[in-house]
Amino acid sequence: MIDSEVFIHQSSYVDEGAVVGTGTKIWHFSHVMAGAVIGEGCSLGQNVNIGGRAVLGNGVKVQNNVSIYDDVILEDDVFCGPSCVFTNVINPRAFVERKQEYRKTLVKRGASIGANATIVCGVTLGEYCFVGAGSVVTRDAPAYAQVYGSPARQHGWVCRCGMKLPDELLCSECGMQYALQDGALQPVRN
C-alpha cells in the first residue's frame, strides 16, 4: 500500500505488498521488497534495498548504498549513514542456506549509525546512541552511548541532540541535563 504523497524516483522499484507511509521519499536505483513496512516522512537515498521483513519507523533517514535486510527494525528517527552495513546471519556460507537463522537487529528511536559502520546481526542499539563511522558493532549499545572502533566500545555519552556530553552530563548545545542511574543514562525531567 503506497500513499499518493510518496515520492518514488522512476529508477526505483517498490514491490506490490510493501507499505510506504505518507511523505516518504525513495530516491534513485532503490528497491523496496514486498512485505517491507516503511513509516511516514522517511528518506531512502540512492541504491537502498529494503528487505521484505524489514520495518522502518517514522522519520527514518537511510543514506546511499545501504541494505536493510529481513528482521532489521529501525524505530522512529533513526539515521543510517552512507554505506553502513547490516548483517543477518552470524556464520554465512554460500553453500549453506541459513535463512531460518536470521537474527533480529533492533535500532531504537533516534539512534545514529555513521558512514561505513557494520552492525552485526542480533544486537540492539539503544535510544539516541551514536555509532561512529567505520565501527564494527558486535554487541548491544546502551541508550545515549557513544560507541566506535573495531570492535566498537563505548567512549562516553551523547545527548539526544547528538552532542558529546561532558563529565557533568549537561549538554552545552541544548541544555539537557542527564544522570546515571544504575549504569544507564537518563534525561533529568524538570
pLDDT (average), residues 133-159? 98
CA–CA distance from 155 to each of 54, 76, 152, 165 (Å)?
Answer: 30, 24, 9, 11
Give tens-digit pLDDT for 156-184.
999 999 999 999 999 999 999 999 999 99
Which neighbouring-strand residues pair with 72? 105
Give tens-digit pLDDT for 40-62.
999 999 999 999 999 999 999 99
- Answer whether residue 1 shows pLDDT above 90: no
Question: Is there a contact between 116 and 134 (Cβ–Cβ < 8 Å)?
Answer: yes
Whole-model pTM: value is: 0.96
Instruction: Note the pLDDT of residue 2.
Output: 75
CA atoms within 13 A on the CB side of 8: 19
Domains of the chain: 7-165 (2.160.10.10)
Q: Find how far residue 31's CA is from the centre of its chain.
A: 17
- Answer whether residue 190 shows pLDDT above 50: no
pLDDT (average), residues 129-148? 98
Determine the Cα–Cα distance for residues 75 and 93; give it in Å rounded to an integer: 30
- Answer whether residue 189 shows pLDDT above 70: no
**Phi and psi (nearest 5°) for 185?**
-85, 135
Q: Which three cell numbers stand for residue 100?
A: 531460518
Report which residue type is found at 187: P
- Answer whether residue 28 shows pLDDT above 70: yes
Determine the Cα–Cα distance for residues 128 and 107; give it in Å rounded to an integer: 9
- Average pLDDT over the chain reads 96
Best-predicted range by mean pLDDT among 36-40, 89-93, 182-186? Answer: 36-40
- Answer whether residue 100 shows pLDDT above 80: yes
